[in-house]
Amino acid sequence: MVLTNIGLQSPAELSRCPCGGTHFPEDHWQAAEGMPQEPSELIDDLVRMGLYKPETVALARTLTEVEMKEALLLRQIGGGNPERERFCQELIREAGGLDQVMAAAFGANATEFFSNTIRQGDFSRREFLKRVVVAAALVKIASCAEQPSGESAQQSPAADVPANLEKKDLTIGFIPITCATPIVMSEPLGFYSKYGLNVQVKKMPNWAAVRDSAIAGELDAYHMLSPMPIAITLGLGSASFPIKLASIQNINGQAITVAMRHKDTVKEAKDFKGFKIGVPFPFSMHNMLIRYYLAAGGLDPDKDVQISPVPPPDSVAKMTAGELDAMLMPDPFNQRAVFEQVGFIHLLTKDLWEGHPCCAFAASQSWIDGNPNTFRAVNKAIIDAAAYASVPANRPEIAKALIERKYLNQPLPVVEAVLTGQFEDGLGNTQNVPDRIGFDPYPWKSFAKWISAQLVRWDLMPKDKADYEKIAQEIFLTDVAAEVQKDLGKTPPSATERIEQLKYDSFDPKNPAAYVEEQIQKFKV
């Protein structure tokens, strides 16, 4: 929004809307001539008259402040040199946003810098408030253009709000990765509020912290790796704590990334021998898939390489420092390694298993039992968001919402590359893979059985705990997800499981134990 050269318009001019309507009542038109010219007083009058809601002015103030902050920072650093200012604008975009640059430049004094400059400089408080009025007008105009009937956009989803929610204020833990897109985007894009919920998504440092906070009851619900509800429910690597997988967050969306120093030597799985490889967590699809890939290529994942858990946000730094030769990580960190020129994308995981699950939305059995209506509402919000995210045309908007510091805190080009599937691979190639990541929330029970089979194969689950049918039926809430999808007008699959086609074999969920034995015989590990 460019407001720099826009003067303060008369109330009559502000009230006329491109949709053709006039939004001042008759008595307001008569009073317009006597309205104050001082911006701060004018804002108060406009709110009192009902022309602008307080939240419209608050949004306008935020938008104007962002614009002013950028102008002030460019003036401070650019010194009036247009070329230098354009260079600074590029740096702001590369750094992931203005807030990060302001914090880096001025630290705890960033707010003080902005306030002092407004007060002392050419950007006076009057000028600032004038622009707030104009910005509020533009926000109002945009709102009217979207709602020709005159109804507020915030009123349209009211019919979806359940009247019997046990709890409205929720905290959902998440890891800052694109796999969490439906959970995270539902806060800034309004999917939670659409269903009567006030949700705070809380950034967590690693998956162990998510697990421990879940067991401790510090979170209402969680973004989890799809094997985690199985592992935690069965007490694998932690105390046993019953958790349900409510819906799948994303399918595909991962990659095997190799450090740039190996670009001339790594062509296939056998070339990974001796590597230090990072995965986000032992109980992850990433660990299962890298083992699947290496074993099929003739390597023993427990002897020929060293696989270690690495929090996704630390992965690029560890690769830069030479502590990782390769990694199978969630995005955007594969793309961030390319962006930083420290790694290249060796293989997208969709090429190992098209449509494989990665992350999930989960909640404890006790929380679901105590808050059944709230659970259904939050699951519905997330599944609704997943449907929105599955539309390619919506991805750029979603990327812009996700890059904020409190969410993914990543440069926009990195997140856009993942979500749109138009990306550089680090080897000089521009790829176009629209389904690099997908958002299909349906939790196939065959997913649960394949995961369980791999936990057994790699000695992460004792065979005597591998009741494949019970795990799939009790932990994956496939029927619940299907009901929610139907409520949203979607058509979920009628079957609950299917034969899964992987790169080197196919998985029949009717006999997971036989599949494990066949893998061992085929790949000798």
Residue 366 host element (H or E): helix 365-370
pLDDT at 362: 98
Q: Would you say residue 262 has pLDDT above 60?
A: yes
Q: Would you say residue 429 has pLDDT above 50?
A: yes
Report the candidate in 357, 319, 332 with the shortest Cα–Cα distance to residue 424: 332
Q: Would you say residue 29 has pLDDT above 80?
A: no
Q: How does pLDDT run across 159-172, given as a tens digit for each residue? A: 467 779 999 999 99
- Ranking 24-38, 367-381, 441-455 by mean pLDDT, the lowest is 24-38
What percentage of the chain has pLDDT greater than the value 70? 70
Report the candidate in 98, 43, 94, 108 with the shortest Cα–Cα distance to residue 72: 98
Domains, in order of start, for the chain:
11-151 (no CATH), 169-525 (3.40.190.10)
Helices then strands (H, E): number in the chain? 23, 16
pLDDT band at 17 (very low <50, low <70, confident <90, very high): very low
Contact (Cβ atoms closer than 8 angstroms) between residue 398 and residue 189: yes
Alpha carbon 29 to its chain centroid, in Å, reads 46
pLDDT at 472: 98
Q: What mean pLDDT is predicted for residues 329-351? A: 98
Q: How does pLDDT run across 202-238, given as a tens digit for each residue? A: 999 999 999 999 999 999 999 999 999 999 999 999 9
Name the pTM for this structure: 0.72
pLDDT at 144: 47
Q: What mean pLDDT is predicted for residues 251-258? A: 98
More confident: 8 or 437:
437
Alpha carbon 110 to its chain centroid, in Å, reads 27
Q: What mean pLDDT is predicted for residues 108-114? A: 50
Q: Would you say residue 65 has pLDDT above 60?
A: no
